[in-house]
Amino acid sequence: MNGVINYKKSVWVALNGQIQVGRKPNKNGAHARGWNSKSIGICLIHDKGDKFTFPQKRALNNLLEELVNKYDIPVKNILGHCEIDKKKPDCPGINMEVFRENFKEFIKRRL
Ligand SMILES: [Zn+2]
């Protein structure tokens, strides 16, 4: 991972699982309207219609685990874009309830 992640940054996860920290190249680095100063935006890069790759999912779990521990974030506060912005109903296109449950299991297995 390059760079330190804080609440002003966005994190990008490439198809091969590679993680990059920084602002969106265009616009002002905003990832979610009204949430930019109090959240960390994580974007999984993919082509429209394509599913996320396994390396991406693995990288996401590892990244989230690191952030949850570092900033003491409750798992319930891991939100999909769709959950905080009605204009983004398809982002990230997965069931977030299920995702959070699976993530809790992922963390438990590591303890
Ligand atoms: Zn989004």
What is the rounded (10 degree) CA torsion for 55, 60, 100, 80?
A: -110
Q: Is residue 97 part of a domain?
A: yes
Distance of alpha carbon 56 from alpha carbon 34, whole angstroms: 26
pTM here?
Answer: 0.82
Question: To which residue do tokens 């002003």 refer?
Answer: 8
pLDDT at 8 over 90: no
**Domain range holding 77?**
11-110
Q: Is residue 62 part of a domain?
A: yes
92 C-alpha to ligand 1 centroid (Å)? 6
Q: Is residue 4 part of a domain?
A: no
91 C-alpha to ligand 1 centroid (Å)? 5
Please tell me the predicted confidence (pLDDT) of residue 28: 46
18 C-alpha to ligand 1 centroid (Å)? 19
Q: Is residue 68 part of a domain?
A: yes
pLDDT at 3 over 70: no
109 C-alpha to ligand 1 centroid (Å)? 28
Q: Is residue 6 part of a domain?
A: no
Q: What is the mean pLDDT of residues 97-107?
A: 96
61 C-alpha to ligand 1 centroid (Å)? 17
Q: Is residue 3 part of a domain?
A: no
* pLDDT digit string, tens, across residues 58-88: 999 999 999 999 889 999 999 999 999 899 8
Q: Is residue 16 part of a domain?
A: yes
Annotate 68-92 with DSSP letters as a single string. HHHHT--GGG---HHHH-TT-TTSS
User: When comparing pLDDT for 29 and 99, which is higher?
Assistant: 99
Please tell me the predicted confidence (pLDDT) of residue 2: 45
* pLDDT digit string, tens, across residues 10-61: 788 999 999 988 765 444 446 677 776 678 889 898 887 778 999 999 999 9
Domain count, the chain: 1
111 C-alpha to ligand 1 centroid (Å)? 30
Q: Is residue 34 part of a domain?
A: yes
